[in-house]
Chain A
Amino acid sequence: MSAVAGRRKPRRPPRSAPGGLPRRPAHCRLAGAAASVRGVGGSDTLLAARLAAGDDHALAEIFDLLAPAVYGGARRVLGNDAAAQDVVQDVFVQLWSHPGRFDPAAGSLRSYLIVLARHRAVDVLRSELRRLARQERSYRLTGDQPTRSAAEEAMAAEAADVVRDAVRALPESQRQVVELAYFRGLSCREVAQEVGIPEGTAKSRLRLALARLEAVLDRELLGSS
């Protein structure tokens, strides 16, 4: 017994708050920072094993340790508090619901969560861009001015800058069809007539341009986080 008792410095376990959630300890430490369970390995592996075992205290410990980095990463991509909080929630719900998706052999838990947050934030941004584009098209067709919050305006402006730069970097032949199709709202047939090329060629240039834009935007958005 003394071998167990003397093995490790004890750490204060999280106390339960009403509702069963552990409160944040005064000085948060990763529970498994220097510890391992036989056959389980290092701290991230121990935390992953605890999550898989249904130990919600492990989730609270991970939140206390890594949520600031996850939140910061999401906020840098989105530039928006509320959206970044939603991303933090999605990331931790996913970690808790699918702990097996984190593979400690492939990298640290910190990296895993930050990458997850970035990807989720980029998804949110993409979806927001699509929504804004739909809103813009509707405005052109109906003349109704879209109502946006200050945060939406900021996000739209930031996203528009990124998109404009990416379009500017396209080869001339592709840039021309993108501008006609998306900024002037022409159909593929109209773009082909305007440029003086077959409709099939216009479609193919548009496809190539969109694939290229997608890659550039991913790099830009991920790189900015």
Chain B
Amino acid sequence: MTSQKRDPAGLPADLRERVLEASLRARAPGRALPSPPEISPVEGLGRAADAFYGLLCALDDADWARPALRGLDVQGLVGHLTGVEEDVHRCLAGNAAVAEADHVESTQPAAARQAGRPPARTRAEWRRAADHTLQLVRTADLDGEVAMHGIRLPLGALLVARAFELWVHDNDIRKAVGLPPSVPDSSTLRLMTELAAGLLPGAAARTGLGTHTSLRLVLTGPGGGTWDLILGGGPPGRVAVTIVTDAVGFCRLVGNRITPAELDPYITGDEGRAAAVLAAASALALD
């Protein structure tokens, strides 16, 4: 009988390290399983646009007049989205004024001009605008930086943000007309969670998350994943926080459509810092 060293749990001393290393060799951490098929940001925006158009086609005339958001009825909200697409067109054409334009104010004329129009016209105008965006970006450099509505980011990320906004307003309309909420397909959702996680450090800096925080963000369910993020400044490793929540819920928080309390995440580490991180996430929403 060999006298092998044991750890406090009675296991051979090196077994834990050996097993965990073998596991991580078999599957790298971070990536969710099952892994959704990867799609491009253009495809993600195309899918979100199709889903949104499908919803608009299912509405009856009375639905278009229901209050939806910020004093806009459903028709006005669709007009706002047409205005956003028109700003994307200007942005891609190099119009510098769009870079710092306010997301709501800039699109107000497009929302207002829908009043009194037949819903089918509003719907067709939005579809044309969205299709034009998709046509413009199909051969564009998705890594090239663009600036619009006070945000500077690669074009690919802007397209995912557009898909994100379409999904958020899709759900605003669903709520207004009494339909159940929708969930993006897992490939599009994965693009959205990647974007939200990637933007979180910047949002944390803007909302004043001072001390250095090591965040492990675990988003469960289809489209989820695990991210290790460094937020704030100061000496590294001072505060560690783990937030576990479902991917769709986190996206609703990022869209500022639910509160952290409604999200009901599982948290380990510094509670106050976790609350600040969640507040920063919800501050990513433009409207």
Contact = CB atoms under 8 A, between A and B. Distances in A.
Nearest to B20: A21
A-B pairs, 3 with minimum CB distance: A3-B261, A49-B220, A56-B29
A57 B226 CA distance: 10
Contacts of B242: 13, 57
A101 B197 CA distance: 28
Contact of B29 (A2, A54, A85, A93): A54
B11 interface: yes
Interface stretch (A62-70, A128-136, A181-189): A62-70
Interface string B272-287: 1011101100000000
A85 B20 contact: no
Contacts of A36: 266
Contacts of B21: 19, 21
Measured as residues with beta carbon below 8 angstroms from the partner, the interface class of chain B is 35 or more
B154 interface: no
Given A12-B268, A81-B12, A100 B260 contact: no
A4 B278 contact: yes
B240 A53 contact: no
Interface stretch (A37-45, A110-118, A138-146, A197-205): A37-45
A10 B268 contact: yes
B105 interface: no
A162 to B, nearest CB: 22
A1 interface: yes
Interface string A76-115: 0000010001001100110111111000000000000000
A67 B269 contact: no
A59 interface: yes
A71 B15 contact: yes
Contacts of B29: 20, 54-56
Given A10-B269, A13-B268, A88 B241 contact: no
B175 to A, nearest CB: 18
A168 interface: no
Nearest to B276: A1
A46 B266 contact: yes
A37 B246 contact: yes
A207 interface: no
Contact of B23 (A8, A12, A52, A92): A92
A175 interface: no
A37 B220 contact: yes
B268 A53 contact: no
B32 A1 contact: no
Contacts of B11: 67-68, 71
A46 B244 contact: yes
A24 interface: yes
Interface of B: 2, 4, 7, 9-12, 15-24, 26-34, 216, 218-221, 224-226, 240-242, 244-246, 249, 259-261, 263-272, 274-276, 278-279
Interface of A: 1-8, 10-13, 15, 19-21, 24, 31-32, 35-40, 46, 49-50, 52-60, 63-64, 67-68, 71, 81, 85, 88-89, 92-93, 95-100
Contacts of B269: 10-13
A55 B226 CA distance: 6
Given A8-B267, A35-B266, A53-B225, A68 B9 contact: yes
B20 A4 contact: no
B33 A54 contact: yes
Contacts of B244: 37, 46, 49-50, 53, 55
Contacts of A96: 23-24, 26-27
A56 B227 CA distance: 11
Nearest to A28: B9
B103 to A, nearest CB: 25
Given A5-B272, A8-B266, A10-B270, 14 more contacts: A1-B278, A3-B259, A6-B271, A10-B271, A20-B24, A31-B268, A52-B32, A57-B242, A59-B20, A64-B9, A85-B18, A89-B22, A92-B22, A100-B33
B264 A38 contact: yes
B16 A63 contact: yes
Contacts of B218: 50, 53, 55, 58
B216 A37 contact: no
A2 B21 CA distance: 38
